[in-house]
Amino acid sequence: MRAVSVEDLWWRYHASSEWTLKGVDLEVEKGEFVGIVGPSGAGKTTLCLLVAGVLSKSVKGVCKGKVELFGKDALRTSVKQLSEEVAIVLQDADTQFVTMRVLDEVAFPLENFGLSREEILERVSEALEFVGMSGYEWKHPHELSGGQKQRVAIAAALAKRPKLLILDEATSDLDPLGKREVLSVLRKLREGYDVTAVIVDHNTDDLVEFVDRVIVLEGGRVVADGDPRAVFSRIEQLRTIGIRIPQPTELAFRLGAANSELPLTVEEAVKALTPLKDRLRLLDGEVLENPSRSERLVSFTDVTYVYEDGTVALNGLSLNVWKGEFLAIIGPNGSGKTTMAKLMVSLLKPTSGSRGNGRRHQSFVSNYAVFQSGLRFPKPGLPARLRYRLR
């Protein structure tokens, strides 16, 4: 039995004169794991929401064609009925939370199904254990990391026991640790959970480990559909489209491996590249000299930044950025990268410490004690009456 059947599907948003999807045809067999890749704006999310039966009933637009989900007309069947067949996990985990505890979040869709308390608790426990989140039942969402939030979102989807699970770039906003956490769940799904999956992801290195087929979208059309090895052997076409090639495949291609021998994984690459080791060479290019340190553009000295809720984003940061320097800032989610960037361009002021830009240097006194004391201050720029109401 086919899980998904899409025939000549067209979609245009009400506010647009251009079609987002243009005659899409595809099929997904029951139990199959299918990956969807494509550049931004190719129509990946639109396609996922139409398959889930959500978009055509919640957003104004023009739709033509046919979408069947386990034999049901997804374009005309109610969301309530389809929600028992399909679950979708989106890119931003924070936008998916509707309750204040992990336990309630996973239980919420089951409560809407009218299940008994006993069955709800059994399913919640099963789903949280499956994604490795047992013991977090009473945690608030803000106490979880990005990877943990996505695992809870997947648990909420799995607790419904859907026939089809759609992951729409569910790992794209996560740091490497968070991605590994979510990918470990996908491995378990692939090995022991009776579910069909559609996975949208730009990270093709991870994608090829889980999917049976890859579908490539460009400009609202399907331009490639086949097993991962066949699809990613079309390197020149995919480069033109803007698809990221798996790194083992890209390396082997550059070293002259035949298309039929291109590896998909690191393990395959070790075998494939051994005969080509003599071709390894340093790429020609200019070596950049160290930048002149005669002009300091940004200077942080023992900078601390504390948000109003008491969250310490930066703690004693000291850093210099010199003219002509190319600086990479890396770190896991929540390590303070964005806060530091905002301080650099003066969108924020340090809670304590000093920040300079070569021409001026300013010191700031900490307001942390004020935040900790629970005192409230009027919102700046608002009328007195409104400021009073916002307290």
pLDDT in tens, 218-257: 999 999 999 999 999 999 999 999 999 999 999 888 887 7
168 and 73 together in one domain: yes
317 and 186 together in one domain: no
223 and 334 together in one domain: no
6 and 81 together in one domain: yes
| 155 inside domain | no
Q: Are 197 and 33 in contact (CB under 8 A)?
A: yes
226 and 328 together in one domain: no
Burial annotation 168-197 (CB, 10 A radius, 16+ → b, else e): bbbbebbbeebbebbbebbeebeeeeebbb
168 and 236 together in one domain: yes
328 and 223 together in one domain: no
Where is the domain boundary, 203, 225, 241? 241
Whole-angstrom CA distances from 342 to 30, 166, 326, 333, 338 are: 48, 35, 18, 16, 6
| 264 inside domain | no
For the stretch 102-127, pLDDT in tens is 999 999 999 999 999 999 999 999 99
304 and 173 together in one domain: no
In residues, how long is the chain? 391
Q: What value does the mean pLDDT of the chain take?
A: 83
Burial class (CB in 10 A: 0-12, 13-18, 19+), 273: middle
303 and 232 together in one domain: no
For the stretch 165-217, pLDDT in tens is 999 988 776 777 777 777 777 778 777 777 899 999 988 988 888 899 999 99
72 and 167 together in one domain: yes
Where is the domain boundary, 199, 221, 241? 241
Number of domains in the chain: 2
Burial class (CB in 10 A: 0-12, 13-18, 19+), 65: middle
The Cβ of residue 305 has, within 10 Å, a number of other Cβ atoms equal to 24
pLDDT at 350 over 80: yes
| 194 inside domain | yes
- pTM equals 0.74
Where is the domain boundary, 226, 241, 256? 241
The Cβ of residue 390 has, within 10 Å, a number of other Cβ atoms equal to 10
Secondary structure of residue 314 in the 3-state scheme: strand
| 246 inside domain | no
| 54 inside domain | yes
| 304 inside domain | yes
| 125 inside domain | no
Question: For residues 316 and 352, what is the distance between their CA atoms, to the nearest angstrom?
Answer: 9
178 and 322 together in one domain: no
- Residue 290 confidence class, pLDDT cut points 50, 70, 90: low
190 and 79 together in one domain: yes
Question: For residues 51 and 200, what is the distance between their CA atoms, to the nearest angstrom?
Answer: 13
Question: For residues 197 and 30, what is the distance between their CA atoms, to the nearest angstrom?
Answer: 9
For the stretch 7-20, pLDDT in tens is 999 999 998 999 99
**Which residue segment(s) compose the domain that 217 sits in?**
2-85+162-241
pLDDT at 209: 83
| 328 inside domain | yes
Whole-angstrom CA distances from 130 to 123, 133, 180, 375 are: 10, 8, 15, 43
Tell me which H or E stretch contains 58.
Answer: helix 55-58
Which CATH number does the domain housing residue 323 bear?
Answer: 3.40.50.300
